[in-house]
Amino acid sequence: MTISPQVAAPASYGDAQRTGLTANDLFDGVTEHLFFSQGASTTAPTDHDLYMALSYAVRDRLMARHLAYKDLQRQHPAKSVAYLSAEFLIGPQLGNNLLMLGIREEAQEALARFGVSSLDRILAVEEEPGLGNGGLGRLAACYVESLASLEIPATGYGIRYEFGIFDQLIENGWQVEITDKWLKGGWPWEVVYPYKSCRVGFGGSTRTYHDRDGRLRVCWEPAEQALGIPHDVPVLGYGVNTCGRLRLWRAVATESFDFRAFNSGDYHAAVEDKVNSETLSKVLYPNDGTDAGRRLRLKQQHFFVSCSLQDMLRNLLERGIPIQEFEHHWAVQLNDTHPAIAVAELMRLLVDEHQLDWDQAWGITTRSLAYTNHTLLPEALECWGLALFASLLPRHLQIIYELNARFLQQVRLRYPGRDDILSRVSLIDERGGKAVRMAHLAALGSHHINGVAALHSELVQRDLFPDFAALWPEKFTNVTNGVTPRRWVALANPPLAALLSEQLGQAWPTQPQRWHELELLASDSTFLERWAGCKLAAKRQLTNLIAERNGLLVDPTSLFDVQVKRIHEYKRQHLNALQIVARYLRIKKGLTQGMVPRTVVFAGKAAPGYYLAKLIIRLINGIADVVNNDPDCKDLLKVVFLADFNVKLAEQVYPAADLSEQISTAGLEASGTGNMKFMMNGALTLGTLDGANVEILEQVGADHFELFGLTTDQVAAWRASGYRPWEVLQGSPVLQEVVELLYSGQFSEGDGGLFAPLLDGLSHSDPFFVLADFEAYLQAQQRIDGRWQDQRGWRHSSLMNTARSGFFSSDRSIQDYAERVWKVDPMPVELACSLSEQSTQHLSS
C-alpha cells in the first residue's frame, strides 16, 4: 500500500536564497557561499571557487528535500531499503544534480553574472569521486538514484575511501598506477555526523557467562577497535522531492593521540592507533596478493557492514521501534559477496548485544537479508582462510560454526548418507587450507538470491548453488541489471536527449515504456537524418577529446568501434586486438575491398597485480603505435586507448559509439551494464550470447544485433571434450599469420618475446576460448563492414536499439526488487510550501 502523506515543511525549507530555483536565487546562493563558505571575493573568483560555491548552493536545495524526507519517515514509519555495497561509482555530482532539479539553464545564467560563459567550464573542475571502480559500483550508483526517483525510502551504505583505486597513466604503452587524490580540492557534497559514530572491533577473544535469566551468553572482547564516522551524500530523484542518501563510513581511531608516548619521545607510537584505524578507509580494494592486503580487505568489509547494521538498529531504537521488528523496517540487500559478513554480524548484534535468543535472531536475519550474486568466477566469490578469519573475527567464526552445524544437520535429514552434498554446501571449505565460504554464508542467510541477467541467474542455480537451489528453489530469482537513463542519456547526450524530449515529451527519462514509440519514425528519412546528426555531434566531441588526450586525429565520420570496460582475459580485449592485426595485414596486402574506415577505441583499467591484463593494454598500445603511424592505414584504421576510464570519460564515449563490443566468453559475464548504456545511445551490439547480451538480443531483434561465438553449452562441451587450441591455430592461416607477426616484434619495437606470455597461453591452454571464437569474430566484423555501407539501414538499427532499450532502465530493475524481493512501497514527499511549487515548475518546463 502506497503512503502519500504531506509534510508541513519548516519555513527554512522555503527560504528562496537556500532553496529557490530561479537564476536570481542561485546567484544569491552562489554569492553567499563564495563569501561565507569559500572566503572568496565575488569580483575575481576562481573556477574552483565557483564550482564549490555553486555546489554548496545546489546542496542546500537537496538538503531541504532530504530533511523533509526524514521528517516524513519519522511521522510515518515505513520499510526502507539498506543497500550494502563495497563501492558506489557515483561520478561527478554537480551536473547530475542540476539535471535532477531541472535548473541547468538557471545555473548557466547565474554563472554568467560572474563572467563565466560556459557552465561546462565549471563542471570540468569537479574531480571524479574515488568511491568505486567498475560495473558493480556503477550499478549501485544507478540503483540508489532509481530508488530516489521511484520515491522508495533507501540508504546506500558503503565506505568513504580517502583514495580511489588508482589513476591510470600510459607510459611506453604500459599501465602505470598513481594515487587517486580525489579529495585534494575538497568535496562539497557530503555532510558529516561525528556524533553518529559506531564502534567496530577486531581480534581479541570471547568468554561465556550467564545472563540474569540463567541463559548462556557470549561476550566478545576485541583486541582493537575503530570508530566509523558517517558521511552522508544526498541522492535526489528525478522530478520528485524524494532525496535519499549514501551513508559512507570513514574510519578513525578511538584514541587518535597517545600523549604519554609522545612525551616519552616515541612519536610514532603516539599516532600508531590513528594510522592503523584510518587505513580501513584509505583506499578502495587494496591489493590482496599479500597477507596484509587480504587482512585489510576483510577488515574493511566487516568495518562498513558492522557500522551499517549498528546504524539501522540504532535508527529503530531512536524511533521507539522494538529491535524485534527489524525485518518490517529494513530490507537489507547485499551487493555481491563483499558484505556477506552481514549474516554473522547481524546475528552477533541481535544475540550478544540485544540479548535475543538464537532462533528469533536467525528468523529476523533470514527475513531481512537478500543477496545479489554478480559473478561465477571463483576468485571473486571470496573465501577467507580460517586462521585469518579467527584472528580478526573470533566471535563471528563461532557463529558461523554454529550456523553450519545446524544447517548441515538439516541437509543430513534431507539427504541421508550424502557426504558429497554436505561437503559442497558447508560454510567451511575443508579442502586444502580450510576457509570460510562467504558466498555460501550469504546464500544461507538470505531470503532471496538473485543473479543479474536471465542467463546468469540460470547458471547461478545450475552451476554455482545447485544444492542450495534444490533445498530452497523459492529463494532463487532473477533481476536483470539496469542503468539510469538520466545520467547516461539525458546528461551524457544532450543532442539525443533534446530529440527524445521533442518526440516523447519531457518525461521520457522516467517513462522507458514509451520509448517504443520511436519505432514509428524508423522509416522517416528526415528523422533518421536528425538521428544521425545527434550521433555525429557526439562523435565530434569524442574526436576532439582524442586529439587533446592522445594527440591523434581521427575521422568522426568513420565507424566508431568501441570496447570500454575493465581489462580482463574473460572480457577478451585481446580477441579484438587479434582481429585488428588481421585487418592491418589485409590493408598491407591491399585486400581492402568491402572494408570501411574504422576508429577502434579501447579504455579500461587492469588490476595492479594482474600481469596478463596489463600485457593486453601494452599489446593494444603497441598495435596503435604501428597502425596510427602507417600511411597505408591513414584512411581506413585508427586505434585509440583512452587512459583512466571513469564516469566522466564514459559520458563522452557511450554517446559516440556506433558499435558496442560485448565479446566476453559465453557464460562468464554475469550481466554487463556498459552494453545497456551503448544500446540506449543507439549503438549496435557485436556480441556473444553472454550476460545481458541475451536479453538485448531478445529485446532488439536479430536484425539489429550482430551475434557470433560459442554458446555457454558449447563452451562447456569443448572444455569437457578436451579443448586443444593449438589445433585451432593450425587450422587457421589468418590466425597463424597474426600470431607470427606478434611474435616477430612488429608491435613491440622488435622485442619478439614481449607478448609471449599472452600468446603462449592462448596456443597452449586458451582458458577463455579466444582462438576458438576468432574466425567467427572475424566474419562478424566483416558483416559489420557490410552493414555500415548501408547508412540508412544502420541508422534504422541505431534508432531501434534506443527505442527497445527501455527494459534496461534501472527503474525497471528497482521495481522488480521492490515488488518481488524487498516488499517495499513508495513514499512520496509532497512539500506543503513554495518549495514543492518550485520543483514542479522547473521540472515540467
**What amino acid positions are annotated as catalytic residues?**
374, 565-566, 571, 673, 677
Query: Of 698, 693, 695, which Cα lies nearest the Cα of 708?
Result: 693
Q: Are strands 216-221 and 224-236 parallel, antiparallel or unpaired?
A: unpaired
Separation of CA 154 from chain center: 17
The residues, any chain, with a CB within 8 Å of residue 739's CB and separated by 6 or more, are: 729, 759, 762, 763
Per the CB < 8 A criterion, the answer to whether 380 and 668 are in contact is no
Per the CB < 8 A criterion, the answer to whether 662 and 675 are in contact is yes
Rounded distance between C-alpha atoms, residue 146 and residue 144, angstroms: 5
Q: Are strands 383-385 and 435-437 parallel, antiparallel or unpaired?
A: antiparallel
Query: Of 230, 261, 263, which Cα lies nearest the Cα of 245?
Result: 230
Rounded distance between C-alpha atoms, residue 138 and residue 140, angstroms: 5
Q: Which three cell numbers stand for residue 837?
A: 511549487
DSSP 501-546: HHHH-TTGGG-GGGGGGGGGGTT-HHHHHHHHHHHHHHHHHHHHHH
Backbone torsion region of residue 151, taken as left when φ is above 0, otherwise alpha when ψ lies between -120 and 50, otherwise beta: left
Q: Which three cell numbers stand for residue 791?
A: 547508412
Q: Which residue carries 526517483 as its cell?
A: 149
Element (H, E) at 761: helix 756-764
Rounded distance between C-alpha atoms, residue 467 and residue 421, angstroms: 7
Q: Which residue carries 593450425 as its cell?
A: 730
Rounded distance between C-alpha atoms, residue 669 and residue 571, angstroms: 8
Handedness of CA 11, 16, 21, 22 (dihedral sign): positive
CA distances from 413 to 402, 406, 409, 417 (A): 17, 11, 6, 9
Per the CB < 8 A criterion, the answer to whether 286 and 325 are in contact is no
Q: Which residue carries 566474419 as its cell?
A: 779
Backbone torsion region of residue 211, taken as left when φ is above 0, otherwise alpha when ψ lies between -120 and 50, otherwise beta: beta
Q: Compute φ and ψ for 253, nearest 5 degrees.
A: -75, 150
Q: Which residues pair with 201 in a beta bridge?
A: 225
Element (H, E) at 287: none
Rounded distance between C-alpha atoms, residue 768 and residue 232, angstroms: 42
DSSP 312-336: HHHHHHHTT--GGGHHHHEEEEEES
Buried b (16+ CB within 10 A) or exposed e, 201-219: bbbbeeeeeeeeeeeeeee
Q: Which residues pair with 369 in a beta bridge?
A: 332
Handedness of CA 439, 446, 824, 232 (dihedral sign): negative
Q: Which residues pair with 563 in a beta bridge?
A: 602
CA distances from 195 to 39, 67, 192, 579, 707 (A): 27, 18, 9, 58, 56
The residues, any chain, with a CB within 8 Å of residue 299's CB and separated by 6 or more, are: 202, 280, 392
Q: Compute φ and ψ for 232, nearest 5 degrees.
A: -95, 135
Residue type, 665: T
Query: Of 58, 57, 233, which Cα lies nearest the Cα of 129?
Result: 233
